Amino acid sequence: MQEAQKEKKIQKTQKSQKTLKARKKKRRKLSSAGTLLLFLLLLAMILGICGILRLMLSPSAEKENSNPDSALILETESTEPPTTEEPTTEPPTEPPPMAVYPSYDADTIKLDDNIDSQYAILVDSDLHKVLAQKDGESKIYPASMTKLMTLIVAIEHTENFEDKFTMTEEILSDLYAQSASMAGFSAGEECSIMDLLYGAALPSGADATTGLAVYTAGSEEAFVRLMNEKVRELGLHNTHFMNASGLHDENHYSTPTDIATILEYCLQNEICKKVISTYTYTTNSTEQHPDGIILYDTMFNKMTGTEVQGITILGGKTGYTDEAGQCLASYAQTPDGHCYIAVTSKVVGKYEPVFDAFKLYGTITGTYPMGETEENEENSENSEISGEPDNFVMTEASADMQEIPAA
């Protein structure tokens, strides 16, 4: 009896222990599930907070999300601030140099009968100021001073100055018919562009200017359009071109001030400055001219450039037609490097524009009186030497000149 009760008690105890174990196991399952649920809730809260912070810190988030490619962007971002690289750009291209139009003021000297030229101007090129003038804004026919614009336009449109241009009979016959001044190139001659530049500048050859025009633009008419475009670029007041050589045309005109501005612009180009500052030049050897053509400058055959004490005339361009008269555009420097430009126009006699230029430069230095013309012209006429070309006067400077080899 007692054993039966004991057995029953043991069974009851075992059953109670099993029930207790089952309850503990159930509580452990519930606890694990709760912990997992709590972890998931905390994770969701953390992710939500991160998303809110991202929207707050990224103003451009909406734009990025609107981009279809933004789906490829990773959700995780570096905590380091983004580094912005400077865009690599080409260095800015410097604009071409532009001449500054000279200004008149109360100090500008008004010239009258103290110079023979009907029109004249003296400009301080460094200060862009008109120092003296005689109808400096009046309309003139520029004659071969036109070639200053021809030179600079051709130079600015040429990449290789050793390129060749074949001179044609058509060009030459037309110019001979107009009695144009010529450099001496022959039909069929292959001329380098550099030779044409010197042929246009020194002997004032219309054959050279037409060759430059056709080479540069395909025709003289197209080249003249480039010349008039440059007129607008430079802000010239009253200039219009009809041809590249300066042959007379009622619609081919300028002013002394405009011509001075063109010359100032030419001096900013080293090639152009060198060409208009050269005494003599020999062209390349060709089949037609095996020894080349010796070119003499029409300005330096009338002066040495040192006639006015304290200032040296370094270069320029002459001009002449019946309508324009004798003309000269020149530039000079004082020993300190200060640059001046003088333009004289519409005068009779080949030396008058030269002596008027001396007088203009003399107003700067005070070393060339206004009444020197007749005496100097007589001396210059007596200095001509036979055996040289008709347009060459042997002077102290030219006697010492050495030929510049063809470029």
Model confidence at 385, in pLDDT bands (50, 70, 90)?
Answer: very low
The CA-atom distances, in angstroms, between 246 and each of 91, 143, 146, 204, 309 are: 40, 4, 5, 10, 33
Average pLDDT over residues 238-259: 98
CA distance 317 to 330: 6
Q: Sorting pLDDT into bands at 50, 70 and 90, what band is 52? A: confident
Residues 292-304, mean pLDDT to the nearest whole number: 96
Instruction: Report the distance separating Cα 58 and Cα 166, nearest Å.
Output: 69
User: Does 49 score more than 70 pLDDT?
Assistant: yes
Lowest-pLDDT range, 70-79, 305-314, 340-349?
70-79
pLDDT category, 112, cuts 50, 70, 90?
confident
Q: Phi first, then psi: give them for residue 209, nearest 5 degrees.
A: -65, -40
Confidence of residue 1 (pLDDT cuts 50, 70, 90): low
Q: pLDDT (tens digit, 9 = 90+) per residue, 182-210?
A: 999 999 999 999 999 999 999 999 999 99
pLDDT of residue 58: 56
Mean pLDDT of the chain: 82
d(CA 296, CA 404): 11
3-state secondary structure of 315: strand
Domain 109-380 class, CATH top level? alpha beta
Q: Which residues of 83-100 are buried (b: 16+ CB within 10 A; e: fewer)?
A: eeeeeeeeeeeeeeeebe
Alpha helices in 147-305 (DSSP H): 147-156, 169-177, 193-201, 206-217, 220-234, 256-267, 270-275
Output the pLDDT for position 228. Answer: 98
pLDDT given for residue 256 in this prediction: 98
**What 3-state class would DSSP assign to 289?**
coil
Find tokens 């009779």 and name the residue. 348
Question: 78 pLDDT exceeds 50?
Answer: no
Percent of the chain clearing pLDDT 70 (strictly above)? 71
Tokens read off for 125: 């090129």
Q: Is 397 helix (H, G, I), strand (E, B) or coil?
A: helix
Mean pLDDT over 314-332 rounds to: 97
pLDDT at 29 over 90: no
The predicted structure's pLDDT at residue 47: 76
CB 293 within 8 A of CB 151: no
Q: Is the pLDDT of residue 217 over 90?
A: yes
